[in-house]
Amino acid sequence: MYTDFYNLKEKPFNLTPSPRFLYLGESHKKALNLLTYGVIERKGLILLTGEIGTGKTTMVHALLNNIDKTTRYIHLSNPLLSQKEFIDYLAFSAFKKKVHFKSKADFLFEFEEFLRQCMQDQKNFVLIVDEAHNLSFKLLEEIRLLSNMEFADEKLINIFLVGQPELNKKLGDPRCKSLLQRISSRYHIPPLDFKGTSDYIATRLKIAGAKNGNDIFFKSAIKAIHHYSEGYPRVINILADNSLLLGYSKGRKKITDTMVKQCYEDMSLEDSFLESSQKIPEPSEIKKMKPVHTGRYWKWAAALIFIIVIAAVGMSQIRRGILGRLSEFISVGHQVPLDRVPGEQEQLPSDVQTEDRKIEPGDLMQPEGPKEMHGIFQRKDKEFFKSVIAKPGDTVIQLAANVYGRADEKILNLIQKYNPEIKDIDWIDVGQEIIFPPLSLLDQSPTFTVHIASFEPFKYARDLFQELLKEGYEVYIIPVYDTKKGKFFRVTLGNFKNRKEAENFAATILKKGISDYAEAIWLEMR
């Protein structure tokens, strides 16, 4: 559905394992090498474990696609069998016909002869049991007996047990002590780290026909996918596939972290409406309510709700229209790359408490590095600093926008200088005190910007600000106080050295019909 829209030849994130889309990170290379080594060297019993969706079955399929004709194998993907069904399955798979043996001893005799013939023909034989954590203790004992088959100090059969970590617990049971001692090698596949997730997505997009995966997913979107998937390839596929579908439905050529979060929330199962502690009333306990005549009120209520919804939709469409047209126009020269890791809270906090107080130089943590850098912390400025206590979901970018009314690269660098304990601008600790110095320390001369929209509710200005900021544009929110109109918020773009440059940019916006309004204004520095 979305392949043509993103210029792809096929869907890159199907859940069905495909050797064409094989991605081998460091952990998966180790897993595949272990299985391959087990076949070549006849290592006998090998254990491969991993959480759901880490790529265990994919590694099995990769092995089976790489082995040559000298190796015969049986792949049991559903081990929920009885002992008799297990023996029948092995017999049919090995002898390629239905054979019913009178006893298990007859089967073992014929099967061992078959394995010896394979060895004489210079062929390996491998039994791969997928989902092995579902094996019963009786079947595990049958597998132990099969692993005993040897000839001239060589294993006649290689057995690979592949399953979830629960398999380790089952093998730790005293009933599996003998089987556990026969395991020659084992490996646990961990989830992908962020680099692995990024490479995994890029690899699958490239195989599907994308020229550059970065043209489809923002870096912040990949961070969000890694965050929500926790590095499990199967969940990565689900989130990435649904994000592409959502982007297609919205007409967005590039996936953002907000879209990834929406897909994650849409797929998450919510708790039951009734909590377990709630008591469901008996019919006799339900009070009879007196009928209320609402005929003349509901019409007015419906009309009021309709007006509110229309206004909200209208404001949202204005914001989306501006954003969509700007994404096709704004030049790279007016962009500031600001990636943000998705947190628990995507919106700017409305209840951030700031404290105006004069902070003495001794109150500030001294930075590491050359002594000449210490001077910026020893300056006695007449203006007040602000301090904010970080709450869950806060980021430095969000807090800066709330304190200063805008956020850009220079402001973030200034904040980091006065908060040297912040090593990564995208991550702060809950309860951490963040110092916000006065912007006069930037020593900036007055600049100009282009006013493109105004909103009375802060929410709409904030939403447009966050969208443009995530797209990498230099955007500002400027609060305005008017005696007649009251308080409203301007959204502006760009930072120009003089009014002429700003006016030229505004004229281009109007000429191309990107926005119905664009005016060059002076950007006052606080």
Residue burial 224-234, b: 16+ Cβ < 10 Å; e: rest: bbbbbbebbbb
Domain extents for the chain?
Answer: 26-189, 194-266, 326-523
**In the Cβ-directed half-sphere of 198, how many Cα atoms lie within 13 Å?**
11
pLDDT score, position 462:
74
Tokens of 13: 């994130």
Same fold, 26-189 and 194-266: no
3-state secondary structure (DSSP) of residue 481: strand
Cβ–Cβ under 8 Å, residues 16 and 213? no
pLDDT of residue 361: 39
Identify the CA nearest to 113 among candidates 143, 91, 81, 84: 91
Considering only CA atoms, which of 220, 463, 476, 473 is closest in space to residue 337?
A: 473
Which residue has tokens 């203790």? 137
The confidence score (pLDDT) of residue 444 equals 55
Tokens, residue 436: 């916000």
Q: How far is the CA of 226 from the CAs of 233, 263, 425, 483, in angstroms?
A: 9, 13, 19, 48
What DSSP character marks residue 176? G
Query: Letter for the amino acid at 371?
Result: K
Q: What is the pLDDT of residue 434?
A: 87
pTM: 0.51
Alpha helices in 172-292 (DSSP H): 177-181, 194-207, 219-229, 233-250, 257-267
Predicted pLDDT of residue 332: 34
Residue 53 identity (one-letter amino acid) = G
The structure tokens listed for 293 are 């005549």
Cβ-based neighbours of 81, under 8 Å, separated by 6 or more? 89, 139
DSSP-derived secondary structure letter, 142: H
Cα(417)–Cα(376) distance, integer angstroms: 8
Neighbours of 169 (CB within 10 A): 10
pLDDT at 448: 85
CATH architecture of 26-189: 3-Layer(aba) Sandwich (3.40)
d(CA 476, CA 462) in angstroms, rounded, equals 10
Give the pLDDT score at 31: 92
Please name every residue paired with 454 in a beta bridge, in sequence order, or none if there are none.
490
Q: What is the pLDDT along the chain (526 residues), one digit of tens a residue?
A: 788 899 999 999 988 777 788 888 889 999 999 999 989 888 889 999 999 888 898 899 999 988 888 899 999 998 899 988 998 899 888 888 777 788 888 888 899 999 999 988 889 999 999 999 999 999 999 999 999 898 877 889 999 999 999 999 999 999 999 999 999 999 999 999 999 999 999 999 999 998 876 789 999 999 999 999 999 999 999 999 999 999 999 889 899 999 999 999 887 744 433 333 333 333 333 333 334 344 444 444 455 555 555 555 555 555 555 655 555 554 433 333 333 333 333 333 344 444 444 444 334 433 333 333 333 333 333 446 788 888 877 778 778 877 877 777 778 888 888 888 887 766 787 778 888 888 777 655 557 888 888 887 777 777 787 777 776 677 787 777 677 777 787 888 888 888 888 898 888 888 877 677 889 988 755 4
Taking domain 194-266, whether its CATH number is 1.10.8 is answered by yes
